[in-house]
Structure 1
Amino acid sequence: MKIIKNLFVLTLLFLSIFSASAQTKAEKDNLSLNSGTIDNQFEFVIRRSNNYQDYKVVKKNWLYMLKAHTLDSLKAVHKDLTDTQLVIENQAKEISDLKSNLTNTQTSLDQTNTEKNNMALFGMQMSKTNYNVLMWTIIAALLALLIFFIYKYNNSNAVTKDAKHALSEIEEEFEEHRKTALEREQKVRRQLQDEINKQKGL
């Protein structure tokens, strides 16, 4: 009975190790320096770099490509941010115009309510009730438009905040990776110089 349990445990352990190994290999094969997210490209550089003691030896051209891709991503984020800002400014102007139109409509409605029951509108006579219904319909439509543009403005504002936050995270991540890469390169250079000095000492 114990032998069967031990065999069962060993089989499960073997299957889990095999599955994890296959998954890691599949993930590694899917990574690329020429496509995917910046995070995936950094992961590609980290996984494909050679090991030297506790350090990673990274090809210079990989670093240059990674830098170029990161800068391209930052430019795209900056462009999206600028475009979003223009949309927000245009929508703010439209909201201001709508508020002005709404104020004018309300003033016109107040003046009309003081007049007689029958009044002319666009050359036609209509009752005060019909006139009020028409005016409130216009106001409701303007309010609906105002609410719609306020909603759009808030959405654009949220997109801008998200874009700024994403830009900040990308810049921080890039700076951290750049510092790490520089430190690694300096350590490798020092070790190489030490080896050269040892060889000269011989």
Structure 2
Amino acid sequence: MKNFQYRYILIIALMLMIFNKGYGQRPLPDELLTNTIEGQINYIEEHTRIYENYRAIREDMFQKVNSNIMDSLAAYRNEIADLNIHISSLNKANDSLKNSLEDTTSDLQEVTRTKHNISLFGLEINKIVYNLIMLTIIAALIILLVMGFALFKRNRFITNKTKEDLKDLNDEFEEYRQSSRRAREKMTMEHFKEIQKLKGG
């Protein structure tokens, strides 16, 4: 009878081993291979039993879900790292754009300031004042030019008049000199004739 019990136990043990081996070698369901993590957990909840607040899960299913979760976490960590690098790059670009905006704002303020001012001999002068000064200088130069031209015309007129007067005076003098010479010669001749008459008479 003892032998019978041993045989009975041995047969049951062999059947359990075969059953466990066959059960453990069953392929994993498609839900654990293709579904999302949430779908895989839902599948396990629906296809496992709870015994004394413990859930009995096949080891290969547990390992597959665990591997899928770890792979997803690694992928999310990589994605988070990539996003952090991208955020850092965007922050650097943002800082660069802020600096560029500050430089542009500063340049715009400088251009606006210099738009209404002009540098003259190292002094900043308002363009309106500068234009007034330039117009005054140009007007003064035009007035001086007109006055200079008028003086030139007047002096030329006076010079020409003086030349004409001098020529007239020279002509009068030459005429006077000629008439004087003729008068002297005539007087000399008359005097000579008188002397001749006195000598001859």
- Name the TM-score class by shorter chain: 0.3 to 0.5
Q: Which one scores higher on RCO, CA 8 angstroms, separation ≥ 6?
A: 1
Normalising by the residue count of structure 2, what TM-score does the alignment of the two structures yield?
Answer: 0.39
